[in-house]
Amino acid sequence: MTDKKYDSGFSFYIPLVLLAAFLLGCLSVALISVRENVLQITYSSEVSASDSVKNKKNVRKSPVYDDSGLKYRMVSASDLNIQKEEDVKKTSAEPVSSEDDTDSDSSEVSSDVSSQPAQDVSSEPVVSDEAEPDGLILPNDQYINFTPHKEGYVAYLTFDDGPSEYTEDILDILDYYNVKATFFVIYHKDMADKYKAIVDRGHTIALHTYTHDYKKIYRSEKAFFNEIDRIQNYVYRVTGTRSRIIRFPGGSSNTVSRHYSEGIMDRLKKSVPARGFVYHDWNVDSCDAEAYNMAPEKLLANVQKSLTKYRKPDILMHDAGESKRTTVEALPAIIEYVYSQGYSMEGLQLDSYAVHHNW
């Protein structure tokens, strides 16, 4: 009996002891994990703070390459190392007869500029010494922050023939530099989202005919406006914007069209404005249409050759897929160069200065 009593008494305490041990274990685990959490929070906040400092530094060095997820090798003016300040000065110091033409033309259409008190910009050299200490090219966003903008100097980046598989990348680059551009589009199947992205991201969408097929579009005035109506309606359907800004395939000076209808360009140059459209040629040619993926260095050099002759340069480039990959690669350098010369970059509007070829 006593043994039994003893046995049952002992077995009564076992669960209590186990329970107490279990509770003690739980308490210590909880304490340890709280302590670790506190440490972890402290540690991670230190890490993220130092990371963000580090990232900021990286962003300054090669932001487009590191952060945007672009799949192309990005070049900047400093990478290309072909900007020579003396060359630029020589170009801008040349007597530029065309600038006078540009100015007199632009004064009547650019109300935004003419409403400002007249700036003494014509006598200033276009190259700004203070923006380029020791002739160095400052990388990327430093241009944007420190290059003084010259009143009335506006560059229009224009991309013809798109959209393409590169449109998003072009838009990312434009966004990064916070500049606006103009896309003269034609019809491409299954790319509705790209037309829409152009508009949604604040750029100008403009018309470059539906098919870009010279023998169709330049057969007659009727055929041309049919092409314009079709692309205008399509763009309106997918973007909600009804554009009245046109660029003729080949430009207003093209000579190919006469094979399809003699004198068609002369007639169109009159009937286009008569129907409420404006047309834009270009005065700075990147020449990216002249070769399959022309080297980015060459594209930049082509822009540098004539940009500073004009207060309102209209720079021709193409958003045309695989054959124009290098245009995307050169774009950061081109934008940085244009900035370095004191220009802002805007999308074309109906009342913007319109470059017209007169040859």
What's the min distance (Å) between Cβ of 224 and Zn ion?
14
Q: In terms of CB distance, is 137 or 217 closer to Zn ion?
A: 217
Q: What is the DSSP letter of 206?
A: E
Instruction: Check residue 249 for interaction with Zn ion (CB under 5 A).
Output: yes
Pick from 12, 13, 16, 339: nearest CA to 157 = 339
- Choose which of 103, 160, 227, 319 interacts with Zn ion (CB under 5 A): 160
Q: In terms of CB distance, is 169 or 319 closer to Zn ion?
A: 319
Instruction: Check residue 161 for interaction with Zn ion (CB under 5 A).
Output: yes
Locate 177 and state its tokens.
């530099």
Strand 204-207, strand 154-160: pairing = unpaired
Q: In terms of CB distance, is 139 or 321 closer to Zn ion?
A: 321
Q: In terms of CB distance, is 311 or 324 closer to Zn ion?
A: 324
Which part of the chain contacts Zn ion (CB under 5 A), choosing from 44-52, 84-92, 128-136, 155-163? 155-163
- Please tell me the distance from the alpha carbon of residue 46 to that of residue 297, in angstroms, as a whole number: 42
Pick from 306, 265, 353, 288: nearest CA to 96 = 306
Pick from 328, 297, 317: nearest CA to 155 = 317
CA dihedral over 291, 183, 215, 278, signed as positive or negative: negative
What's the min distance (Å) between Cβ of 102 and Zn ion?
23
Which part of the chain contacts Zn ion (CB under 5 A), choosing from 1-9, 70-78, 242-250, 292-300? 242-250
Which part of the chain contacts Zn ion (CB under 5 A), choosing from 22-30, 124-132, 154-162, 216-224? 154-162
What's the min distance (Å) between Cβ of 42 and Zn ion?
59
Q: In terms of CB distance, is 161 or 329 closer to Zn ion?
A: 161
Residues 93-132 that bind Zn ion (CB under 5 A): none
Q: In terms of CB distance, is 110 or 209 closer to Zn ion?
A: 209
- E-assigned strands of the chain? 154-160, 181-185, 204-207, 245-246, 278-279, 284-285, 314-318, 344-345
Which part of the chain contacts Zn ion (CB under 5 A), choosing from 93-101, 143-151, 157-165, 345-353? 157-165
Please give the residue whose beta carbon sits closest to Zn ion in the complex.
Answer: 160
| Residue 150 one-letter amino acid | K
List % helix, strand, coil for the chain (3-state, nearest 5): 55, 10, 35
What's the min distance (Å) between Cβ of 247 and Zn ion?
7
Residues 11-50 that bind Zn ion (CB under 5 A): none
- In Å, how far are 108, 208, 297 from 283, measured between CA atoms? 18, 17, 20
- Please tell me the distance from the alpha carbon of residue 207 to that of residue 213, in angstroms, as a whole number: 14
Q: In terms of CB distance, is 139 or 250 closer to Zn ion?
A: 250
Contact residues for Zn ion (CB under 5 A)? 160-161, 249
